[in-house]
Structure 1
């Protein structure tokens, strides 16, 4: 499982700019709490090579993968990361909240107050995002 600031990251396919090069169709990891985005470790080397070649050729936009197959997504999921395969972010946020609640229960059993406080901050951030998402869905109806 990949973590950032105490929250498990979410995988998705998107665009990512490194230096002056915009790379499309990149497997990325997103932290729903601090909003950090990074290239998935499974393609990090390939991504860096593509960026280096693009810089040498003075190309500003490239595509990492022309096609993303279900097999690739399954391989990326092996890192233990929730992977967003469609536009609906709500199930993943709910999964993150459930996971955080489970960990909060463990922190109480272990009487680890510091960890419990960190988990409460994570839950607050995740819940805020979920509420915003639900409000956006209501407005679009």
Structure 2
């Protein structure tokens, strides 16, 4: 599981740029708080190989996978990452808030004040994002 800003990252399928190469359909891990992004560990070597071949062939854009199957997503989820499968971010934000609250309880039991502060900041950002999303949904009705 990827961690950032005190808690877990969200998995998603997106585009990834390294050097001058844009790779599409890549499983990524994304932090909804600081917006840090990295390639999912299950495909990291494959992405590096695709980029290497693209550089040799002087190709600027490539697609890692033509199709993403539910089995692939299930395999990537095994890494313990919340995976965004639709455009609706609300369930993911709620899940991240729940995870952060659980971890905040653990930080209190461990008396880890620094981690607790990171989690409180993360909860604040996630809650703000959720409120904005709910407000946008309400306005679009």
Task: Report 1:22-101 matches (<5 A).
Answer: 22-101=22-101
Secondary structure at the residue paired with 1:85?
coil
Deviation at 1:89, TM superposition (A): 0.9
Q: 1:74-100: CA deviations, max 9, x gaps?
A: 111110101111111110110110111
Runs of 5+ in structure 2 lacking a partner?
Answer: none
Structure 2 residue aligned with 1:124: 124
Q: Is the 8 A contact 1:7 1:33 kept in 2?
A: no
Q: Is the 8 A contact 1:4 1:31 kept in 2?
A: yes
Secondary structure at the residue paired with 1:139?
helix
TM-score (norm 2): 0.93
CA RMSD of aligned residues (A): 1.3
Structure 2 residue aligned with 1:18: 18
Q: Is the 8 A contact 1:15 1:25 kept in 2?
A: yes
Deviation at 1:40, TM superposition (A): 0.5
